[in-house]
A and B are shown apart, each in its own frame.
Chain A
Amino acid sequence: MFSFVARRLAVAVPTLLILVVISFVLMYAAPGGPFNSERPLPPEVLANIQAKYGLDDPFWKQIVNYVVGVVTQFDFGPSFQYKSRSVNDIIAQGFPVTLTIGFWSFVVAVTAGVSLGIAAAIKQNSWLDYMAVGISIGAQVLPNFVMAPILLLTFTLWLGWLPGGGWNGGQWQHLIMPVVALSTSYMASIARITRSSMLEVLNTNFIRTAQAKGLPMRRVIWKHAMKPAMLPVLSYLGPAFVGMITGSVVIDSFFSTGGIGTFFVNSAFNRDYSVMMGITILVGALTIIFNLLVDVLYAWIDPKIRY
């Protein structure tokens, strides 16, 4: 087990480094520096600014400085657009919001998806099953950027129940639509995966044995069927997490919640490379760490997997 974790880490760390290098090379290759404006700056001023940001250093020195800064101090450098703020300030401001939305979406998607899937599997071919299957098929074509306008139209414009955007310190009224919009399609996928894997497990011999022993259905499900049935769901959580982080970009810009997504899109329009890179690397690191956790959890739960 320990060597497995060590080996997975040995892959995760280079992956992250590759990501840092790729984004840095992309930024370096970008035509036009961040300080090229409509009115060209006087050469002395430009030289001063470039010296301040270390942009006059040779390529290898810049990249080493950047990587070292990121790795040792989590320092993503200054923002090119907002002159007085660093990328870290921006992340510190937006990330808690993203994390809150992401956390609740994840919780909603997993709990609702798993319960729906299990209910559908236990009562196979009942109205509940058909409803669950219907929802999961329907929700598949409703990615977050389709869900968000539909929700806004219904609950803000027609019914007037919920505020159309903003954050307001994370009040639940402001949280509810972003979370629903973000979690729906993942909930559907999780429900579908849970249903089919639960159906498969319920048809195995050890479940029949458990039932033959006279165990009540609830105990059979929770004690015996749950663990093997959850394995495919577990391996889906990695991609779902990535999707939710990515989706938060849309959610942030649509509901103006002020998470890192807003900053990412704004910096994309302003060519504020350092902010984009910082956020890309942050998200990449989160993704890699999360995938690592899922893999370790998987290996821990499933005794059949030997590493």
Chain B
Amino acid sequence: MIPNPQNVQGIVDAMALSEVKGRSLWADARTRFLRNKAATVSLVLLIFVAAFALFGSLIAQWERDFVDFTLIGSNAYKGVPSLETGHYFGTDNNGRDLYARVVQGTGISLMVGMVGAMVAVVVGTLYGATAGYFGGRLDGIMMRIVDVLMSIPFMFVLILMLVIFGRSITMLFIGIGLISWLDMARIARGQTLTIKNKEFVEVAVATGVHPIKIILRHIVPNLLGIVIVYATLLVPNMIIFESFISFLGLGVQEPNTSLGALINEGAGSMQYGTLWQIGFPLFFFVVTIFAFFFVGDGLRDALDPKDR
């Protein structure tokens, strides 16, 4: 039977129409993530908070370290948040504009979280993947080191370091970098153990690919999903960590500030009726932490559906 050219054309058209568009893992994950309302809303909130930290200073009417001496002592009624005076969030106890300070504090807190997560992703993943891939004695030694470091009370050691080498943001970053990768290394190692027995790794080994290249090209990309999830969940923990130290007055130093330091200042003066001084930093702190947790949760559901 000779097919009618028109029919053939019709079949081809129909096939073209019904052809399923391939979906990558990432596209799949994106749909799943966007279906999660809490996570989507949190992502939008996070973008707002980040924009606030980045561009908030553009609409600030006062410098963050400008001390308005006329306000000192009469903060409770003159320093209230108002649009007219330009102190959108009121002033702090020293007569400084709280809005500009919250902008800066949010920025520092976000930066601390990001640095912690970056170190965790780079160092932790490579460390864990190396330990897991090579296995044996090397694995034993490397993981024992992680165990030892994990059982040291880092908050205390970090405070000791901050006191000895001077309190500075750099020191804080070093301290946070030192601990943030430990958990990630464990997670990456565990995941590597399951990946390294897969066929594609076997093929790579059989064709003589260098182990370092196997780790970078074949293992690490497959860890990426779980690494992103835990990095997102790590950010709020790092922010809490930094805020804890700044709350004690041992972290970020004046005139710089962070949300923890602002909460501390606000808590110290709340019996004088200046509740906005704790309210605004607390609001941004809680929103940021909340949003990161929900985004992390959403990402976990999207990228790692097995794990509940």
Contact = CB atoms under 8 A, between A and B. Distances in A.
Interface of A: 11-12, 14-15, 18-19, 22-23, 26-27, 29-31, 137, 140-143, 145-146, 148-149, 152-153, 157, 196, 242, 245-246, 249-250, 253-254, 264-265, 268-269, 271, 273, 276-277, 279-280, 283-284, 287-288, 291
A7 B156 CA distance: 27
A288 B151 CA distance: 6
Contacts of B290: 141
Contacts of B160: 23, 26-27, 268, 273, 276-277, 280
Contacts, number: 115
Contacts of A249: 155, 248
Nearest to A280: B156
Contacts of A22: 152, 157
A280 B152 CA distance: 9
B282 interface: yes
Contacts of B51: none
Given A27-B164, A148-B267, A149-B263, A141 B289 contact: yes
Given A141-B286, A253-B248, A268-B159, A246 B263 contact: no
Given A15-B152, A149-B278, A23 B270 contact: no
Given A30-B164, A157-B270, A140 B293 contact: yes
Interface string B130-166: 0000000000000010011001110111011111110
Nearest to B267: A149
B156 A279 contact: yes
B247 interface: yes
Contacts of A14: 148
30 contacts: A15-B151, A19-B152, A26-B164, A137-B293, A141-B236, A141-B286, A141-B289, A143-B243, A145-B243, A145-B260, A145-B264, A146-B282, A146-B286, A149-B267, A149-B282, A153-B270, A157-B270, A242-B153, A245-B153, A246-B153, A249-B155, A249-B248, A250-B248, A254-B267, A265-B248, A271-B163, A273-B164, A280-B153, A280-B156, A280-B160
B230 interface: no
Contacts of A153: 270, 275, 278
A141 B290 CA distance: 6
A203 B308 CA distance: 14
B250 A23 contact: no
B86 to A, nearest CB: 27
B53 interface: no
Contacts of B152: 15, 18-19, 22, 284, 287
B105 interface: no
B156 A283 contact: yes
Given A149-B267, A273-B164, A265 B153 contact: no
Contacts of B161: 26
Interface of B: 144, 147-148, 151-153, 155-157, 159-165, 236, 240, 243-244, 247-250, 260, 263-264, 266-267, 270-271, 275, 278, 282, 285-286, 289-290, 293, 308
Contact of A284 (B153, B243, B264, B271): B153
Given A11-B148, A273-B164, 19 more contacts: A15-B148, A18-B152, A26-B160, A26-B164, A141-B286, A141-B289, A141-B293, A145-B247, A149-B278, A153-B270, A242-B153, A249-B155, A253-B248, A264-B159, A268-B160, A268-B163, A269-B249, A276-B159, A280-B153
B296 to A, nearest CB: 11
B156 A246 contact: yes
A137 B156 CA distance: 28
A144 to B, nearest CB: 8
A245 B156 CA distance: 10
Given A153-B270, A288-B151, A143 B244 contact: yes
A245 B151 CA distance: 13
B250 A268 contact: yes
B301 to A, nearest CB: 13
A223 B236 CA distance: 38
A271 B163 CA distance: 7
A250 B164 contact: no
Contacts of B151: 12, 15, 284, 287-288, 291
A153 to B, nearest CB: 6
Nearest to A27: B164
B277 to A, nearest CB: 11
A29 B153 contact: no
Contact of A149 (B156, B162, B270): B270
A276 B163 contact: yes
Contact of A157 (B155, B240, B264, B271): B271
A161 to B, nearest CB: 16
Closest 3 CB pairs of A and B: A149-B267, A280-B156, A30-B164
A30 to B, nearest CB: 4
A142 B267 CA distance: 14
Nearest to A153: B270
A92 B106 CA distance: 40
A23 B157 contact: yes
B246 to A, nearest CB: 9
Given A15-B152, A245-B153, A279-B156, A265 B250 contact: yes
A280 B240 CA distance: 21
B26 to A, nearest CB: 27
Nearest to A254: B267
Nearest to B264: A145
A129 to B, nearest CB: 15
A147 to B, nearest CB: 11
Contacts of A11: 144, 147-148
